[in-house]
Every structure is written in structure tokens, then in C-alpha cells.
């Protein structure tokens, strides 16, 4: 089996695999799309094909994403199979990104929207020098027309967001996430983990108690260090005072006190 056929069979859930991906030997290549309405129609057809069929998911958690393409690089340059692939790869990317972070959900396409927007890019260009030798610049504005596609995905399982602390998922205290889900998240990040390696609630309470004990001990140590520092300052002041007394000049005895009585 050829690589192309094998790849297409592995991606059977594709809008374009319904009947378009057939050998076209001896036929002309797909024509480039010249009508903007054709792009919009393809977006509706592809998204409708991938849209979730689950009911009662309106209140479930959702994620949104926007992709933009320069209109000048689409019209007259892209054919139908290529544009369909671009849409489907975008949907796959959004779903895989959500699954990598929120692994407890089953994400599917919920809604989509497209629009045509114009963006203006401003830049400066040097055109020469003035009579004083200073560079002169002019402001140039260039506008680009973009085709924007916004998609919204939904968790059909109706799960809750996995919370993170310092880049690691939080166990099942606030958000109802079980240890198996955390193991999957860690394994997605390349970390070897098993359900037994995730701390239980009792272990977490013990760790928090130990943290409080260590914090109190740190406060006592800080207080003792401050007391020792104060005592050292007092000793230093006493030594300096003693040195100053020793270095002070001694007055010689008076003449009257040095005379002895005559015999």
C-alpha cells in the first residue's frame, strides 16, 4: 500500500474523504478557487461535517480559537482539497491543544464564524537627508485583507477545568479531578507516573501540617537570630568602649604627692 493511500485511510473521518480523494490519473488538476463565496461555502460544509452531534451541551465548558489567512494568498492560489485540509487541520489543532491541557474532556466542534477584515500596517521609510544632513522619513501605510475563521469547541463530557499550581495539576480537592486524570496529564508531559505515585488527601494534609510546623520553626529561628545579633552588637559596643578607655592618656602624678618626708 502506498504512503498516500495509507495516510488517507488513517484519516477516514474527513470531509474530503467522502468521495473527493480518488485517483485522477489523466485528468486535470483541481482548479483554483476564484470566488470568495466558495471559500465561505467550504467553511460551512467542512464545519458542519465535523460539528458535534451531542445534545444538551450548551452550558458545558468551551474554548475558542481564531485563524487568519491573507485573502491575497487564498483567492486564485488555493484549490478545494487544499482549503479543506487547512480547515480540518485547524480544527484538529484546536482539539488536540485542549486535550493536552484538559485531558478529562472530550472536545468536539461546537460552532464557527468567519469574516473579512482589513488590517493596516504602518512603517517608516527613509527618503533622504535635509539641508542639515539629518535623515528624513515618511510614514507608509499598507493595508492587507484577511479571511478570519473562528471556531468554538465544547467538552461533551461536561467536565470541570483541571487546575494547575506551579505547572502541575491539582489533585481532586477543588475541581473533582481524580488521580488517573493527573497521571494522564503527567504522561502527556513526558513524566513517568502511576496512580500510586499521586499523593492521597491524607498525605496532602500531612504535608500541609509539616509546612505549618516548619514555618513556626522558621519564625523561632529568625527571632533567635535577631536576639543573637543584638547581643553581638552590645558586645561590640562594650569592646569599643573598653578600647577607647585603654587608649586614653594617663595624667602624671603631681609634685607634692611624689615628695618623701625628710629624716
Please report the pLDDT score of residue 252 as a whole number.
63
pLDDT digits (tens, 9 = 90+) for 100-128: 888 888 999 999 999 999 988 888 888 88
Please report the pLDDT score of residue 34 as a whole number.
92
Please report the pLDDT score of residue 51 as a whole number.
95
Residue 79 near residue 30, CB atoms below 8 Å: yes
Q: What average pLDDT is seen over the chain?
A: 79
Three-state SS at 251: coil
Residue 21's pLDDT band, with cuts at 50, 70 and 90, is very low
Please report the pLDDT score of residue 69 as a whole number.
94
* Cα distances (angstroms) measured from residue 9 to each of 12, 22, 52: 5, 12, 22
pLDDT digits (tens, 9 = 90+) for 189-241: 555 555 555 556 676 677 788 888 888 888 888 888 888 888 888 888 888 88
* DSSP annotation string for 112-176: EEEEEEEEEEEEEEEEEE-TTS-EEEEEEEEEEEEEEEEEEEEETT--PPPPEETTEE--TTSS-
Residue 148 near residue 90, CB atoms below 8 Å: no
Asked whether the predicted pLDDT for residue 88 surpasses 90, the reply is: yes
Question: What is the residue whose three cell numbers read 498525605?
Answer: 203
Amino acid at each position: 500500500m502506498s504512503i498516500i493511500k495509507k495516510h488517507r485511510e488513517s484519516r477516514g473521518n474527513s470531509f474530503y474523504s467522502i468521495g473527493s480523494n480518488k485517483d485522477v490519473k489523466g485528468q486535470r488538476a483541481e482548479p483554483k478557487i476564484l470566488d470568495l463565496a466558495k471559500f465561505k461555502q467550504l467553511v460551512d460544509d467542512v464545519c458542519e461535517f465535523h460539528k458535534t452531534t451531542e445534545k444538551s451541551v450548551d452550558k458545558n465548558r468551551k474554548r475558542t480559537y481564531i485563524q487568519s489567512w491573507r485573502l491575497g494568498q487564498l483567492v486564485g492560489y488555493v484549490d478545494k482539497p487544499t482549503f479543506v485540509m487547512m480547515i480540518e487541520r485547524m480544527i484538529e489543532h484546536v482539539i488536540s491543544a485542549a486535550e493536552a491541557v484538559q485531558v478529562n474532556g472530550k472536545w468536539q466542534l461546537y460552532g464557527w464564524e468567519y469574516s473579512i477584515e482589513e488590517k493596516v500596517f504602518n512603517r517608516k521609510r527613509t527618503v533622504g537627508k535635509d539641508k542639515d544632513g539629518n535623515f528624513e522619513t515618511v510614514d507608509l501605510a499598507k493595508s492587507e485583507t484577511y479571511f478570519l475563521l473562528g471556531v468554538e469547541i465544547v467538552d461533551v463530557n461536561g467536565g470541570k477545568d483541571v487546575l494547575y499550581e506551579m505547572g502541575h495539576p491539582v489533585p481532586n480537592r477543588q475541581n473533582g479531578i481524580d488521580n488517573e486524570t493527573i497521571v494522564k496529564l503527567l504522561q502527556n508531559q513526558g513524566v513517568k507516573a502511576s496512580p500510586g505515585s499521586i499523593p492521597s488527601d491524607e498525605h496532602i494534609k500531612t504535608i500541609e501540617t509539616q509546612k505549618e510546623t516548619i514555618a513556626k520553626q522558621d519564625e523561632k529561628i529568625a527571632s533567635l537570630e535577631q536576639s543573637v545579633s543584638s547581643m553581638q552588637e552590645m558586645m561590640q559596643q562594650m569592646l569599643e568602649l573598653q578600647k577607647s578607655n585603654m587608649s586614653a592618656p594617663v595624667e602624671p602624678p603631681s609634685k607634692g604627692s611624689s615628695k618623701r618626708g625628710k629624716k
